[in-house]
Amino acid sequence: MKGIFVDLDGVLWFSESAHKDAFKKALGDVLENVIELIDQTWEFGESTEKYIGRLLTLDNINFSKSRIKELAALKRKFAAEISNIPLNRPLIESLSEIKDTGVLISLVSSSSPSNVQKFLNNSNLHDFFDCVIDSSMVAAPKPDPGCYSLAMSNLRLAPHNCLVIEDSESGRVAARSAGITQILIFPIDFPDQRFAQTLISCLSRAN
């Protein structure tokens, strides 16, 4: 049995603009140059609390953990209010084709349960994934390998039978630390949007 593990934000869901806007709203009264800071430092894969802490440090602001949690909750509130986030429909359709051949498909994300649920509601893919991993199910977010280790355990898959689709360095590190070597980076590893062909080619090398 083989499996494809897919990241959420930036891969299945083009939510970058929505998340950046939510961070900017949540931190607008705290960081005077919040727009420039976020535009210069943005990368998916970092937990909300850790990213807020990093932004504050860059601006020489020292907040308590409880205050950072409050700001993270505010960011999540603003993000939850954003609608009409585009789906990566070509990739989803290609994954559906491959799933019909017996390949297991898992959503593996460091996003909050509410963000993952919002995606599942918007995409109507509740019953599509053989396994769904969110931040509440593991001790630490990516680059910690726990999310991928848990997905493999749940689906009873060995690392050499798995293919990962990520868009961030932290996600790639997490997959490799879990023993998975077949990793595709979206979008650069999908020339001309040949999603199905690229996935089938990589799966054929997993054994």
**105 contact partners, CB below 8 Å, separation of at least 6:** 3, 4, 6, 95, 98, 99, 128, 129, 130
Q: Token pair 């599509």 is at which residue?
A: 128
Q: Is the peptide bond before 187 cis (omega within 30 degrees of 0)?
A: yes
Residue range 139-163: mean pLDDT, rounded: 96
Q: Token pair 């943005």 is at which residue?
A: 42
How far from chain centre, in Å, is Cα 148?
12
Q: Are 51 and 23 in contact (CB under 8 A)?
A: yes
Q: Are 133 and 150 in contact (CB under 8 A)?
A: yes
β-bridge pairing 104-108 and 131-133: parallel
β-bridge pairing 131-133 and 162-166: unpaired
Q: What is the DSSP letter of 159?
A: G
Residue range 25-45: mean pLDDT, rounded: 91
Provide the pLDDT for residue 110.
92
Residue range 141-162: mean pLDDT, rounded: 97
φ/ψ region of 191 (left if φ > 0, alpha if ψ in -120 to 50, else beta) reads beta
What distance, in Å, lies between the first and last C-alpha atoms of the chain? 9
CA distances 113 to 109, 110, 120, 202, Å, are: 9, 9, 10, 30
If one compares 174 and 82, the residue with the highest pLDDT of the two is 174
Residue range 160-177: mean pLDDT, rounded: 96
CA 198/CA 191 separation, integer angstroms: 8
Provide the pLDDT for residue 47.
81
Q: Are 78 and 18 in contact (CB under 8 A)?
A: no
Mind listing the pLDDT tens digit for each residue in 89-104?
Answer: 999 999 999 999 999 9
Residue range 46-60: mean pLDDT, rounded: 91
| Mean model confidence pLDDT for the chain | 93
Q: Residue 44 above 90 pLDDT? A: no
Q: Residue 207 above 70 pLDDT? A: no
The least confident of 74-78, 136-140, 166-170, 190-194 is 190-194
Provide the pLDDT for residue 26.
96
Q: Are 50 and 71 in contact (CB under 8 A)?
A: no
